[in-house]
Structure 1
Amino acid sequence: MQNCLTHLLSDYSHGGIELLHSLVRPHRTTVSALHRQGTLVVLNGTSSSGKTSLAVELQRVAPELQLLHLQLDVFRAMEPPGCWSADYRNQAPLRLEALCRAMNKAASEFARCGQNVLVDHVLSPAACRYMLEDLDRYRVLLVKVECGIEEAERREALRKDRKSGLARSQLASVHAACSYDFEVDTTSRSASELGPLLADWLRGSPEPEAHIRMQRSRNAA
């Protein structure tokens, strides 16, 4: 037994690492070969605009699209109390970047493994820039989720997990830096009405024209 172990260790020291790499690489190649790169569908709108309801409905009416739902709220739930308070104002830019890039990384890893992802986001100009930087090699479709401010504030008041005034504070910036491939208005139309429309559009395999335009503008700047 000792001789066998000594022999194995000797082999390892004389090229065993290369052998291990040769065993691991085919597995990774196989995963890539079996799954095409997934599509990222970004739903962008203010808080309480109806993004989450739309995402859930889209998953329900289009199960064949196999859309995962990646929510900004899930990442925000990891934050400690007071994370964005005035006491930590100087850390806000760094925390925003970390939050956005973590979401982008999670979404891109799912897509790299062939998964389609609904990214439920609020894209400020800075967040939009991080998206363009991090997802430049991925197929990204951008969907504008619009809602009249009065209706958004009505919904906001009914929710226990939203600070009053959040939707209004995001209104001026959320669409300022983005172009879109598809638009929905949830002011007077429900998720059950809009979900099938969005599903039909996605089934048509649309081209990511908005993302391409935005990348070209960024590269030309």
Structure 2
Amino acid sequence: MIQVIVLNGGSSSGKSRLARELQGVLADPWLSFSVDDLVDAMPPALVDGGDGIGFGDQGEVSVGDDFRAMEAAWMAGIAAMVRAGARIVLDDVFLGGAQSQARVRAQLDGLNVLWVGVRCAPEIAAQRELARGDRTPGMAELQAHVVHEGVQYDVEVDTGSTESLECARAVAARVVS
């Protein structure tokens, strides 16, 4: 039985909408958390400063040791909730590709995880990014491919060519209740 669904894709690839659609189509209740929740919860000193997370003018993202420490604690909390009986959809951006997946995999060790690649053509993600207005221009295009490098998935969806609800149904078909 799947306990955690990890959605990995670049900025504006459609992960958050897919997570909401999954909550609607899955038989049991699922909580949804995003790496954006972690960033939003961080103290200002760790966002765009210090050794936390920084966002460059061209859309580049840099992370430091303080961010990694907070990320590890957050992931341990996610894993603890799953071990306590919650089912969770985790919306993430594997900036380090396979290395990022390895960090998440280690935190979720012993849990049944469905790994989902959320793809979207860079130009579509860039259009979504512009429409959102809350992202640094260029982030979506920079992340569109690099977040998938070396990452192993159980299922992949393309939100640029397929409606979010259909993508959610494809993922849900892989979840055994």
Superposition TM-score, scaled by structure 1 size: 0.67
The structural deviation recorded for 1:196 is: 1.8
Map residues 32-71 of structure 1 onto 2, 5 A cutoff.
Answer: 39-62=3-26, 64-71=27-34
Ranges in structure 1 where 5+ consecutive residues have no aligned partner: 1-36, 206-221
Ranges in structure 2 where 5+ consecutive residues have no aligned partner: 54-62
Tell me if structure 2 keeps the 8 A contact 1:38–1:117. Answer: no
Tell me if structure 2 keeps the 8 A contact 1:111–1:117. Answer: yes
Match in the other structure for 2:60: none
Tell me if structure 1 keeps the 8 A contact 2:8–2:92. Answer: yes
**AA aligned opposite 2:50:** Y
**AA aligned opposite 2:65:** L
Q: How many residues align?
A: 166
Q: 1:107 aligns with which of 71, 78, 98?
A: 78
CA shift digits 1:120-155 (9 cap, x unpaired): 001133432321222222222100000000000000
Match in the other structure for 2:89: 118
**AA aligned opposite 2:92:** H
Task: Find the structure with the greater CA-based Rg.
Answer: 1
Q: Distance in 2 between matches of 1:106 and 1:38?
A: 18
The structural deviation recorded for 1:73 is: 1.1
Superposition TM-score, scaled by structure 2 size: 0.82
The structural deviation recorded for 1:82 is: 7.0
**AA aligned opposite 2:166:** E
Match in the other structure for 2:147: 174
Q: Going by fraction, where is helix more abundant, 1 or 2? A: 1
- Does 2:32 match 1:79? no
**AA aligned opposite 1:41:** I
Q: Going by fraction, where is strand more abundant, 1 or 2? A: 2
Tell me if structure 1 keeps the 8 A contact 2:11–2:144. Answer: no
Higher relative contact order (CA 8 A, sep 6+): 2
Match in the other structure for 1:94: 65
CA RMSD of aligned residues (A): 2.3
**AA aligned opposite 1:100:** E
Q: Distance in 2 between matches of 1:53 and 1:73?
A: 13
Q: Distance in 1 between matches of 2:81 and 2:43?
A: 26
